Amino acid sequence: MSKDYYDILGVPKTASKDEIKKAFYKLAQKYHPDKKGGNEAKFKQANEAYQILSNDTKRSKYDQYGSGFENMGGASAGGYGAQHGGFEGFDFSGFQQGGGADFDFGNLNDIFSDFFGGGMGGERTQSRRGRDISTEIQISFPDSIFGINRKILITKTSVCLTCHGSGAKAGSKMETCKHCNGQGKIRENKRTIFGNISSTKICEVCMGAGEVPHELCEKCKGKGVLRREEEISVVIPAGIRDGEMIRMTGMGEAVSHGTAGDLYIKINVAAHPVFKREGNDLVMNLNLKLSDALLGTKYSIQTLDGEIEVTIPEGVTINEILRVRGKGVPMSKNKRGDLLIKLNIKLPGKLSKQARATIEELKKEGI
């Protein structure tokens, strides 16, 4: 059955890349296996959907052919090989076995993946991959604008530092795996309703390496991986937004003789007492005295880049905005947004006799 990646992420087919990204991040946080109440199956579904829909080329092919486009090979869109996904979910429980034949009706999904993945009698092996993991960190508002390198400590399954993933004791020789005779994979024959189907799976003893250590590493007991605390350097790019995620490929959990999963880091940006972000611009409020608003003046302002002097022109109005170019959020190497200064004119609560007399004169002039 074709997978509806849009439905999995909960977005319409017209969704933008940004909407797709936000939908995935929301589901990743909800279903991640490391969180209480997480759901590994739904997390993997969401990740698969995001990998397809966030890639323009893959998304175009998916929209045209459906989720089976990656396995089509040279077959046409309407060909039998491209349509094999339609068998998923079919109930074969009522299928009558004739002639006393002993068919294996176990995992039909495995049968179809073997049958169509490499053709009849074809060999198919699936590489091992570690789990994806997630964490979150908080950074200051200025660091979100200019970027920063952070080091974080994560406890996860990592490659053993003693044997460097080999599982062997230092100085120990490697010997041929007797279970798979050094092939790293095991061939299995299944008798199904379609006849005998041959499939190839990774050897569970040597994990596909074809050899095993004569003496096991004392630290990891021959597994090549173990759970430990690891320091990871994270490059947080300039202009990152609150709630965005950074994906670090291969920095998730390791697996023996396989590929490590990915690490997802959610960035929480602390609020700033003066500045707020609007798109690529920074916004702040500046309180002015009535006299400064009327006559104009110069103000020294502390920005994220340091102190600058701004000129307040004569006769500015309440909520008028001054724009300081190039003091906002970095957009590229040589381009930044602007700093927007919202002017608030503070009216005096009490007037002295002299001030009142002056204002009375201004009133007579129609000011």
- For residue 90, tell me if it sits in a domain: no
Do both 213 and 113 map to the same domain? yes
Q: Are 170 and 310 contained in the same domain?
A: no
* Total length of the chain: 367
> For residue 148, is pLDDT > 90?
yes
Q: Are residues 112 and 181 in the same domain?
A: yes
DSSP state of 101: -
User: Phi, psi at residue 49, to the nearest 5°?
Assistant: -65, -40
User: Tens digit of pLDDT for each residue in 183-206?
Assistant: 888 887 776 655 567 777 888 778
Position 158 pLDDT exceeds 50: yes
> Minimum mean pLDDT among 16-30, 88-102, 274-288: which range?
88-102
Average pLDDT of span 325-332: 92
Domain that holds residue 326: 283-364
Position 120 confidence tier, pLDDT thresholds 50, 70, 90 = very low
Please indicate, yes or no, whether residues 134 and 234 belong to a single structural domain of this protein.
yes
Q: Of the candidates 241, 271, 301, which is a domain's last residue?
A: 271
Read off the pLDDT of each residue in 62-75 and give the average, rounded to a whole number.
Answer: 63
55 lies in the same domain as 191? no
pLDDT of the residue at 367: 66
Look at 72 and 183; give whichever has higher pLDDT. 183
Average pLDDT, the chain: 80
Tokens of 333: 């190497």
Residue where one domain finishes, among candidates 208, 239, 271:
271
pLDDT of residue 196: 67
Cβ atoms < 10 Å from Cβ of 17: 12
Residue 108: what pLDDT? 40
Contact at 8 Å (CB) between 126 and 199? no
How sure is the predictor about 171, in pLDDT bands with cuts at 50, 70 and 90? confident
* pLDDT value of residue 270: 96
Give yes or no for a contact between 134 and 175, defined as CB atoms under 8 angstroms apart: no
Contact present, 254 and 130 (Cβ < 8 Å):
yes
Please provide the distance, in angstroms rounded to a whole number, between the alpha carbons at the two ends of the chain.
76
**In whole angstroms, what is the distance from residue 113 CA to residue 90 CA?**
14
Q: Where are the alpha helices (DSSP H) in the chain?
A: 5-9, 17-31, 40-53, 56-65, 108-117, 141-146, 290-295, 353-364
228 and 326 housed in the same domain: no
Longest dimension (CA), the chain: 115
Q: Does 92 map to a domain?
A: no
In one-letter notation, the amino acid at residue 65 is: Y
| CB contact set of 188 (below 8 Å; sequence gap of 6+) | 198, 199, 200, 201
222-241 core/surface letters (b: 16 or more CB in 10 A; e: else): bbbbbeeebeeebebebbbe
Q: What is the pLDDT of residue 73?
A: 46
Residue 47 sits in a domain whose CATH number is 1.10.287.110
CA distances from 13 to 7, 10, 53, 104, 252 (A): 9, 10, 10, 40, 31
User: Are 13 and 49 in a shared domain?
Assistant: yes
Region 25-43: mean pLDDT is 82
Residue 320 lies in a domain: yes
Residue 69 confidence class, pLDDT cut points 50, 70, 90? low
Residue 157 lies in a domain: yes
User: Residue 142: pLDDT above 90?
Assistant: yes
| Torsion over CA: 162, 166, 168, 172 (sign) | negative
Query: Does residue 339 form part of some domain?
Result: yes
Whether residue 313 sits in one domain with residue 254: no
For residue 129, CA distances in Å to 132, 256, 258, 315 come to 9, 9, 6, 67
CATH number at residue 312: 2.60.260.20
In a domain, 290, yes or no: yes
- How many folded domains does the chain comprise? 3
Residues 177 and 295 in one domain: no
CA dist., res. 11 & res. 2, Å (int): 17
Structure confidence at residue 127 as a pLDDT band (50, 70, 90): low
Q: Are residues 212 and 339 in the same domain?
A: no
Considering the domain architecture, whether residues 328 and 263 belong to the same structural domain is answered as: no
Q: What are phi and psi of 103, to 5 degrees?
A: -90, 150
Asked if residue 208 is part of any domain, the answer here is yes
| H runs (alpha helix) in 89-246 | 108-117, 141-146
- Rg of the Cα trace of the chain? 32
Identify the weakest region by mean pLDDT among 40-54, 183-197, 234-248, 311-325.
183-197
The pLDDT value recorded for residue 224 is 87
Whether 98 is covered by a domain: the verdict is no
Last residue of a domain, one of 49, 69, 89: 69
Question: In the numeric block, which tokens belong to residue 201?
Answer: 């799976």
197 & 127 share domain = yes
